[in-house]
C-alpha cells in the first residue's frame, strides 16, 4: 500500500543486483512511497547485474562506487547531492561478499588475506560510507541508515563461515557510529537481521536450502520475504521511527526468540520413528 511515507525524502541504495535482491525490492518500495533514489553498486556488479532495468522503472540514476575506495564514495555522495539538489535522507547498505565461501575454504582453514577483503567489503564498508557522509555533512538531520545483517552474527551456523564474523562487525559499526551520528545530527543507524532469503548472493552459501527450510519450521510466522523486508526498511527510513537507533532489529518471523517449534519436534519424532522402523 502506497501512502507516501517517504514523500520528499531522498536516498541512496547500495547493492541492487537483480530482481531477487532485497536492495532491489527496497528501491521499488521506497519509490512507491514517494522517495527519490540513487542506485549504486560496485562496477563489476553493475556489469553482471540488471540494475539498468530497475533504474528505468523508478527513474533513478546509477552511480558506480567501490565501497572500499574513499574517492569513489566521495564522488557518489557529491553526485547524489547534485542530483537531489540537497542532502541525503536515507541510505540502505545491502553489501556482502565472502571470498572464503566463494572459493570453498572451510572456516577452520580460511585464507586470512581473503578474510580481510571480506570484512572490508561486507562490514567496514559501512564505516566508510558513514565516514564519507560524516566528513561531507551529506546526511540530513533525522536521516536514517540501515544495513542488512543475519542472525549468524549471534548464533553459530557452520556453513555461513566468515560472513558470521562480518555481520557481527557490521552490527558493531552500526552501534558505534550510530552513537556519534545521533549526537551530532540526530541521524539514526540500525541493522536489520533478516530471515534467510533467496537472493543471488545468499544462495551461494553451502546448505542454503536447508537454512531456509529450518528457519521456516522454526518461525511462528514463517520466513520474512524480501518484499516484507523492503517494507520494514521503508518504516525505518520514515519519520515514524525517529527514535530507533543503534539497534539490531530482527525481521525473521520470530525465529530469533524461538527455542524449538512444534514443527521441528514433529520432524525429529518422524525421523526417530523412521530409524526405529528401519532397524
Residue 37, strand partner residues: 11
Q: Which of 196, 205, 122, 204 is nearest to 158 (CA)?
A: 205
How many CA within 13 A on the CB side of residue 22?
30
pLDDT score, position 70: 98
Alpha-helical regions (H) of 49-162: 51-58, 70-84, 99-102, 112-119, 125-136
Question: Distance between CA 144 and CA 249 in Å, rounded?
Answer: 14
- The dihedral through the CA atoms of 257, 260, 261, 263 has a sign that is positive
Along the 279 residues of the chain, how does pLDDT read in single tens digits? Answer: 678 999 999 999 999 999 999 999 999 999 999 999 999 999 888 887 799 999 999 999 999 999 999 999 999 999 999 999 999 999 999 999 999 999 999 999 999 999 999 999 999 999 999 999 999 999 999 999 999 999 999 999 988 999 999 999 999 999 999 999 999 999 999 999 999 998 766 655 667 788 899 999 999 999 999 999 999 999 999 999 999 999 999 999 999 999 988 988 988 887 666 655 555
User: Do residues 69 and 93 lie in contact, with contact meaning Cβ atoms separated by under 8 Å?
Assistant: no
Alpha-carbon distances of 41 from 103, 110, 169, 244, 277, rounded to whole Å: 22, 26, 21, 27, 54
Tell me the C-alpha distance between 131 and 183, whole Å: 15
Amino acid at each position: 500500500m502506497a501512502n507516501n511515507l517517504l514523500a520528499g525524502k531522498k536516498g541512496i541504495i547500495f547493492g541492487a543486483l537483480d530482481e531477487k535482491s532485497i536492495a532491489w525490492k527496497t528501491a521499488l518500495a521506497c519509490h512507491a512511497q514517494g522517495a527519490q533514489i540513487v542506485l549504486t553498486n560496485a562496477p563489476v556488479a553493475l556489469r553482471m547485474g540488471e540494475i539498468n532495468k530497475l533504474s528505468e522503472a523508478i527513474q533513478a540514476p546509477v552511480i558506480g562506487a567501490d565501497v572500499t575506495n574513499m574517492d569513489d564514495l566521495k564522488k557518489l555522495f557529491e553526485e547524489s547531492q547534485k542530483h537531489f539538489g540537497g542532502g541525503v535522507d536515507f541510505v540502505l547498505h545491502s553489501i556482502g561478499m565472502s571470498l572464503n565461501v566463494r572459493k570453498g575454504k572451510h572456516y577452520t582453514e580460511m585464507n586470512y588475506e581473503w578474510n580481510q577483503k571480506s570484512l572490508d567489503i561486507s562490514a567496514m564498508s559501512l564505516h566508510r560510507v558513514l565516514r564519507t557522509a560524516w566528513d561531507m555533512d551529506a546526511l540530513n538531520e533525522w536521516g536514517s541508515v540501515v544495513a542488512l545483517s543475519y542472525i549468524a552474527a549471534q548464533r553459530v551456523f557452520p556453513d555461513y563461515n566468515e560472513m558470521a564474523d562480518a555481520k557481527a562487525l557490521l552490527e558493531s559499526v552500526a552501534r558505534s557510529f550510530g552513537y556519534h551520528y545521533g549526537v551530532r545530527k540526530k541521524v539514526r543507524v540500525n541493522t536489520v537481521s533478516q530471515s534467510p532469503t533467496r537472493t543471488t548472493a545468499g544462495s551461494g552459501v553451502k546448505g542454503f536450502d536447508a537454512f531456509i527450510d529450518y528457519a521456516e519450521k522454526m518461525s511462528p510466522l514463517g520466513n520474512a520475504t524480501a518484499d516484507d523486508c523492503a517494507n520494514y526498511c521503508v518504516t525505518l527510513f520514515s519519520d515514524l521511527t525517529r527514535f530507533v537507533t543503534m539497534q539490531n532489529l530482527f525481521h525473521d518471523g520470530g525465529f530469533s526468540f524461538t527455542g524449538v517449534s512444534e514443527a521441528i519436534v514433529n520432524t525429529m519424532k518422524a525421523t526417530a520413528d523412521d530409524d526405529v522402523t528401519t532397524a
